[in-house]
Amino acid sequence: MAASSASVPATLPAKRKRAPVSRYIDDADLERVDDSAYGSGSDVEADEVEDEELPDGDSVYGSRKKSSKTNTRKSKAKKRSKFTPSRPKKPQKPFEFMSLPAELRDYIYELALVDPERITVVSKTKAYRRTVARGAISDNGNGFYSGRSRGYHRRRYINLDDDEDVDESQEPELDPKQLIPALLAVNKQIRAEATGYLYQQSIILEDTMALHTFLAAIGPANRPQVTDLTIRAWGTGRGTHKAMNVAALTLLSTCTSLKSFNLDCEIGWLREPKNLARQLYRDGHYFFEAYGAANGNKDAAVEVLALNEWNFDRDHYYNYRKSASQLPQPEEFKVKFQTELRKLLGC
């Protein structure tokens, strides 16, 4: 039994029957095949097939020599795909400025609207209209204006005198800080929060004409925000510049929050304390009375008013008709001047 079982061969599994596949394709079949089928259904890309003839009987199904026209068209399509524009980026959300803390917003307002070196304003003409702009203001070398013609001062502003000695050791003046007042036009809340930063800083004006134009330009809504003004020239003569003294101080009557009003200039000729007080009261009684009424004290404007020391200096006696010895000392001059002005205001 053992010998007979060893001689019997093991049974082999039956082979899977397959349909016969022909490796040869007729020319008629090739003509019916669409060119696009080879690019999508074949494992071999059309561009990767080498441009050479295959031997008879060894041609691979799905591969044949492509025309140069088809290859050129596909290569151009690949090149175009490299320069396909990217998808548009999603729109970014606007920055929520008002969500910042109040302290940080105030810091931004200060950077955008405050000039640490003070703002200087000069008169300009734009499109045949009188206006003002930021600009440099120079004096006549003595620290104040001496009441000379406006043309003389305009020449000093733009430095047309080339013969003037220039001290090369001095550092050149830097351009003024660029402010951004357009920030106030963003919305009402920013305007309410930031207006004070622009107007509640020291503002130096060229003369009373610049003061009048400046106050007219900012409007009655912003005038109560002004707190510190300096005038560098007083109008003199018999023309428009002298008339601007009254007009400018009349508009100033709406600036009821002033804390400093400095007349850093020569107010006419040197005169006695009473005459100087009467001159200022004649030109600015609207301002003195309105400021006193708004602050609950008739002589409140006297406390914020400051004059250049030249108006009290007896050494300028050449502008005084009498002897300089008849004028009081500067401190006594100030006291008499303020006393007379208070008397005119009805204190």
The strand pairing partners of 314, in sequence order, are none
User: What residues make up the domain containing 253?
Assistant: 118-161+175-344
Could you tell me if residue 26 is inside a domain? no
Query: What is the tens place of the pLDDT at every residue in 279-337?
Result: 999 999 999 999 999 999 999 999 999 998 888 876 665 555 555 566 778 888 899 99
Query: What is the tens place of the pLDDT at every residue in 68-94?
Result: 555 666 665 555 555 566 677 778 888
Cα separation of 91 and 94, whole Å? Answer: 9
Could you tell me if residue 19 is inside a domain? no
Could you tell me if residue 3 is inside a domain? no
Could you tell me if residue 333 is inside a domain? yes
Query: What is the tens place of the pLDDT at every residue in 144-178?
Result: 443 333 433 333 333 334 444 445 555 555 567 88
Could you tell me if residue 50 is inside a domain? no
Q: How many domains does the chain have?
A: 1
Taking alpha carbons only, the member of 158, 197, 204 closest to residue 179 is: 197
pLDDT at 100 over 70: yes
Average of per-residue pLDDT values in the chain: 75
What is the pTM for the complete model shown? 0.65
Could you tell me if residue 329 is inside a domain? yes
Could you tell me if residue 64 is inside a domain? no
Taking alpha carbons only, the member of 245, 241, 250, 189 closest to residue 223 is: 250
Could you tell me if residue 71 is inside a domain? no
Query: What is the tens place of the pLDDT at every residue in 32-63?
Result: 555 544 444 444 444 444 444 444 544 444 44
Residues 210-234, mean pLDDT to the nearest whole number = 94
Structure tokens at 320: 């005084």
Residues 207-228, mean pLDDT to the nearest whole number = 94
**Residue 106, pLDDT score:** 95
